[in-house]
Structure 1
Amino acid sequence: MEVIYIRSRSLKKEEKDSVSQDIPLSKKLEDNINFFSALYKDSPDVVFCSFIAGKNEVAVIYIEGLSDTQKLEDQVLETLLNEKEFDETNMLLSIKHRLPIANIDKVSTYVACVEAIAGGNPLLLLNGSEEALALGLVKFEKRSIEEPQAETAIRGSREGFTESLGTNTSLVRRIIKDPALKMRSVTVGKYTKTKVAIAYIEGLADKTLLEEIENRLNRIDIDGVLESGYIEQFIEESTYSPFPQVLYTERPDVVCANLLEGRAVLMIEGTPFALIVPVSFFSLFQSQEDYYERFWIGTFIRTLRFLFLIIALFLPSVYVAITTFHQEMVPTDLLLSIASSRESVPFPALVEVIIMEIAFEALREAGIRLPKQVGSAVSIVGALVIGQAAVQAGIVSAPMIIVVSITGIASFMVPRYSVGLAIRLLRFPIILLAGVLGLVGVMLAFIMLIIHLSTLRSFGIPYLSPVNTLQKHPLRDTILRSPLWKMNKRPHLTGDFNETRQGTNLKPGP
């Protein structure tokens, strides 16, 4: 066996066009090798191996690092070199039957061949045949399954998705074993050719929803997809809204729970984050642990989340409005305490809170970007040191430090990072309205926020559903969480759906 590198040449215009069109392979092996050698010019990691099998000339093309070279030598090259007799009438089929490989596909166009090579499947070309074999010998380095870093679990699975699409789909299929779990494949990206798997359960997910997802993916015309965030920004409906209309997660149990509710999941090659559609505002504040604990605990925690959501959004603005315009609303003793603490502060309350909020956001971002060993120390110690120093220097007042600290803690209660970012962003315009109009500005901001949320949709689903649609059964799983044995109806998302999720009369008892 002799491995040779074919001398490269430049592609002609008609050969360049053939890469983007379904041009069939040539019967002459030399023409095919010349084409691929020119196509992969200046690519030393692309290996061309030519040899004689029986009486015919054969070539294998693969990318080093993406294909299993050991199995290629043992199961392909050695088998073909040692085999002396082949069926000359159908040489390609004869070779396919002799190779001990489970996954072998026939390809007949240059586009299919390039996709096979780029996917790590060695390409076997035969002289005199207009078809080639894509050998399923993919092998590349990948991260092992680990606990999700962005979604820590107190109770539940410790497994998280990886950057391998095959690994992620297997994790989902290991939980949902029914053959009704289907997965459609779409390729996005001119150069990256990123595979996107659309997972759904047949009979639960609406067909119209699946068609809409495929339509939105197929109309994406971009050079490459490097993370699921690229896909998210191209398929959401209200691009100028700060609120996410797609839920992303790296936990298989979250994916499976949403699949069982009739939603669809997009798993993207090269990222551990899967996208779930459609979603509602209330589903973004739910955590999978809510269902693993008793319903009283789940309801209490969810109530806390929404309470601290209001605090994170409106506490600084309410403080600015009251201390600036509505001092009569504050008890006298408390007003005197605030006034004495602000006596040496040269800035008005509006400027004071903006300075502290920007400083807090800067410390939070610095803690994220720094290495883990020093990031948490910088964010915590920095906040304490700067806050204490600012109070002693008379730049800000002590009550303002308390307000900003409570606001920061409240924002950490949100289980989804993307929603937390939206809250952090909206806090500043609400503060400005409070500084200009007082409590009237706060109420105006609240009304505008409700109107905006009411107009949002996620793949046709109202963002505030089921509250604004007043659906009886889904209301049991919003701020309040009913017992699992009462949640026997599946939420109505789009079109036709399978309403029954479990049996009736499941209340446990002796």
Structure 2
Amino acid sequence: MKLKFLSKRKPDFRPVQNSTLPFHPLEASLDANLAEIKRRIGHSADVVFRSLSNPSSDSPAMNFIYIDGLVNSDLVSQAVIQPLTDNPLLKEQRPEEAFLLIKEQILPVGGLQECKTVESLLGMLFEGNAIIMLDGSKVALAAGTSFWEKRSVNEPTSQGVIRGPKEGFTESLRTGTSMLRRRLKTADLRVEQYKIGRRTQTGVALVYLHGIASEQVLAEIRQRLDAIDTDSILESNYIEELIQDGHLTPFPTIMSTERPDAMAGGILEGQVGIIIDGTPFALLAPATFFSFFQSSEDYYQRFDISSFLRLIRYSAFFVSMLLPALYIAITTFHQEMLPTTLLISLAAQREGVPFPAFIEALLMELTFDVLREAGVRMPRAIGPAISIVGALVLGQAAVQAGLVSAAMVIVVSFTAISNFVIPSMAISNSTRLIRFMMMLFAGTLGMLGIMSFLMVLLIHMASLQSFGVPYLSPIAPMNPSYLKDIVIRVPLRNMKMRPSTYGSKEAPRQNLLPKEQQASGSQSEGQGSKNS
């Protein structure tokens, strides 16, 4: 499948200004370098300056700089400061020779890097390295001593499964890449790291499988990441909004996940992972509409159960999007579509309701969204209880007061429950926005408004792309050979080829022999084991 990039679309990115800033090389004078560093970072209480200058010693004067709280204090003391204190190898050595001795022989700590500019020195300092500066040397050393408190690996909170791994990403970038390495033990797994954000210098890792991920998609993602010019990246949504396609659309074009197994599965399919330091939510691109309805649990249980659950998700999506609008349209414009008994029952319920069906549904939907947000913001001890009690009390009181009908409470409640069936929170939130627009068209034009809005929505989705991949692929454009894992999931043994839905190279991912050859192979293996 050829990728079609929008040549007319120019992303609103500015060139990175960090690369144009002047660099200040370190000087040979230790005092001058220290003065420049203190001028830049100010008198911060957590920055530690320690000098080992000794006038009675022949060793060159040196200074250590590190940030308390970002380094392992014991490691700095035992592996950096102690080996350099009155070391006989440093006596009567010139600064260049002393620098080589420290780098190659004296320091036992790993991860030594050279810093030739003040900017690189500060960057390594803020990453938790201990800086070693010698008087007379224009190069400083950064020793890998980083250590800070971080959250342990826990079960994902937004993507729970009954069967499958119970661990999720943490806020540590290296923990995220290591969890992928444990699952993809191959030399083809490549990790490219970026520093984005002039002030935050947030670490961003681009993870993909060499030979499987599309080179065009990779080039487009790299170009958009390099073009980001901002002062801060605090969460993955910053990256998502800055590189996504289709800014004026309710549909997400990049997936977010906090499950390492879900990201590993996407990378194996040809997607590209983006892990951001400081957040447990990673990104997967490109993404299609149907990928948001797939759960990692679909592949941890039988194909028939997975297919049934996936059909329920698609049904819940349409119910969540259309049910209030259909109720408004039928009760307002198309009463003849209802059976007589049901029509009489609904008319009797709405007899004392002072609002039209559209206003009634709008009030109930807004009330439920308020309760939902309140439950999220409340303390965990009372949040769920207040949400449930509030919904029951408000719903019952509204029906008894004659403000809404009982049928409307049922419609809104079932709509809200259906919205939680969708496994992706991003597409679930999009459905909430689309539902309000659908209700507006249903309240003004009835079924004609619903069908017209659905046609416009479908045309809009067909025009979307995610890094050059059609959003409705493989349905539009139609590719029947790639439909084995879209609406339903066929058995794993029947998915022998890797689909090129995400622009990846179509290649066999398994090589299952016919049953006759398998039986003969197992018999020969059994005989071989007996003979051995």
TM-score higher than 0.5 here?
yes
Q: Secondary structure at the match of 1:133?
A: strand
1:91 to 98, 104, 123: 98
SS in 1 for 2:238: helix
Query: How far apart are 1:506 and its partner, in Å?
Result: 6.9
Distance in structure 2 (CA, Å) of the matches to 1:456 and 1:290: 26
Which of 70, 74, 90 is the matching residue for 2:74? 70
Distance 2:502 2:343 in 1: 53
- Is the 2:213–2:503 Cα contact (8 Å) retained in structure 1? no
* Aligned residues of 2:115 and 2:121 also touching (Cα < 8 A): yes
CA distance in structure 1 between the partners assigned to 2:206 and 2:58 by the alignment: 44
Decide which of 113, 116, 121 is 2:124's aligned counterpart: 116
Are 1:80 and 2:81 matched, yes or no? no
Aligned equivalent of 1:60, options 60, 64, 67: 64
Deviation at 1:90, TM superposition (A): 1.7
Q: Does 1:50 align with 2:51?
A: yes
> What is residue 499 of structure 1 aligned with on the other side?
507
Q: Is the 8 A contact 1:486 1:506 kept in 2?
A: no
Residues 157 and 331 (structure 1), Cα distance of their counterparts in 2 relative to 1, 3 Å cut: same
Q: Which residue number corresponds to residue 29 of structure 1?
A: 30
Tell me how far apart the structure 1 counterparts of residues 312 and 513 of structure 2 sit (CA, whole Å). Answer: 31
Counting only pairs closer than 5 Å after superposition, residues 197-276 of structure 1 correspond to structure 2 as 197-276=205-284
Contact 2:270 / 2:504 at 8 angstroms: preserved in 1? no
Deviation at 1:337, TM superposition (A): 0.6
Residues 265 and 277, structure 1, Cα contact 8 Å, conserved in 2: yes
TM-superposition CA deviations, 1:37-92 (whole Å, max 9, x none): 11121312111111148520111111111111211111111111141123545211
Find the counterpart in structure 1 of residue 471 from structure 2. 463
**Structure-2-length-normalised TM-score:** 0.90
Deviations 1:249-303 (A, max 9, x none): 1111001001111111000010111100001000001100011110000100000
Alignment check: 8 A CA contact 1:486 1:507 kept: no
Partner of 2:529: none
TM-fit CA distance, 1:134: 0.7
Say if 2:72 and 2:146, in contact at 8 Å, map to a contact too.
yes
Is 1:372 paired with 2:373?
A: no
Equivalent residue of 1:106, what SS?
strand
Equivalent residue, structure 2, for 1:434: 442
In structure 1, the residue matched to 2:297 is: 289
* Deviation of the 1:179 alpha carbon: 1.5
1:210 Cα offset (Å):
1.4
1:302-321 equivalences under 5 Å are 302-321=310-329
User: 1:361-387 CA distances to partner (integer Å, 9 max, x unpaired)?
Assistant: 111111111122211112222111111
Partners in 1 of 2:262 and 2:497 — Cα distance? Answer: 19
Aligned with 1:383 (options 384, 391, 412): 391
Indicate conservation of the 8 Å contact 1:155/1:292, yes or no.
yes
The 1:477–1:130 alpha-carbon spacing in structure 2 relative to 1, beyond 3 Å, is: same
Q: Which structure's relative contact order is higher, taking Cα pairs within 8 Å and 6+ residues apart?
A: 2
1:21 touches 1:111 (CA, 8 Å); kept in 2? no
User: What displacement does 1:23 show?
Assistant: 2.6
Q: Is the 2:419–2:428 contact (alpha carbons within 8 Å) kept by the matching residues of 1?
A: yes
Q: CA RMSD in A?
A: 1.8
**Whole-angstrom distance in 2 between the partners of 1:456 and 1:362:** 31
TM-score, normalised to structure 1's length?
Answer: 0.94
1:54 touches 1:85 (CA, 8 Å); kept in 2? no
Which residue is 1:410 aligned to?
418
- Give the whole-Å Cα distance in 2 for the aligned partners of 1:334 and 1:356: 22
* Residue number in structure 2 paired with 1:40: 41
CA distance in 2, matches of 1:507, 1:456: 44
* 1:474 Cα deviation after fit: 2.1
**Structure 1: how far apart are the matches of 2:88 and 2:410?**
84
Q: Partner of 1:85: helix, strand, or coil?
A: helix
What is the Cα deviation at residue 496 of structure 1?
6.1
- CA deviation vs aligned residue, 1:103-161 (integer Å, no higher than 9, x gap): 11112111211110011111111111111111000011111111111111211111111
Contact 1:473 1:487 in 2 (8 A): no
Give runs of aligned pairs for residues 442-481 of structure 1, distance below 5 A: 442-481=450-489
CA contact (8 A) 1:433 1:442 kept: yes
Which consecutive unaligned segments of at least 5 residues does structure 2 have? 1-17, 520-532
User: Which residues of 2 match residues 84-233 of structure 1 at below 5 A?
Assistant: 84-86=88-90, 88=94, 90-96=97-103, 97-233=105-241
Alpha-carbon distance in structure 1 between the residues aligned to 2:504 and 2:257: 26
CA distance in structure 2 between the aligned counterparts of 1:411 and 1:352, rounded to whole angstroms: 20
Q: Partners of 1:18 and 1:306 in 2: how far apart?
A: 47
1:75–1:495 Cα change, 3 Å: same
Query: How far 1:504 moved relative to its partner?
Result: 3.7
Match of 1:326 in 2: 334
Residue 494 of structure 1: how far off its partner (Å) = 5.4
Paired letter, 2:484: R
C-alpha distance in structure 2 between counterparts of 1:424 and 1:379, whole Å: 19
Would you say how many aligned residue pairs link Structure 1 and Structure 2? 494
- Counterpart-to-counterpart distance in 2, 1:505 and 1:267: 38
Q: Is the 8 A contact 2:59 2:86 kept in 1?
A: no
> C-alpha separation between the residues in 1 aligned to 2:430 and 2:499?
26
Deviation at 1:471, TM superposition (A): 2.0
Cα separation, partners in 2 of 1:54 and 1:83, compared to 1, 3 Å? farther
Distance in structure 1 (CA, Å) of the matches to 2:19 and 2:26: 10
For the pair 1:484 / 2:485, whether they are aligned, the reply is: no
Gap runs ≥5 in structure 1: 1-16
- What is the identity, as a one-letter code, of the residue corresponding to 2:329? A
Given that 1:54 and 1:84 are in contact with CA atoms closer than 8 Å, whether structure 2 keeps it comes out as no
Distance in 2, matches of 1:287 and 1:206, equals: 23
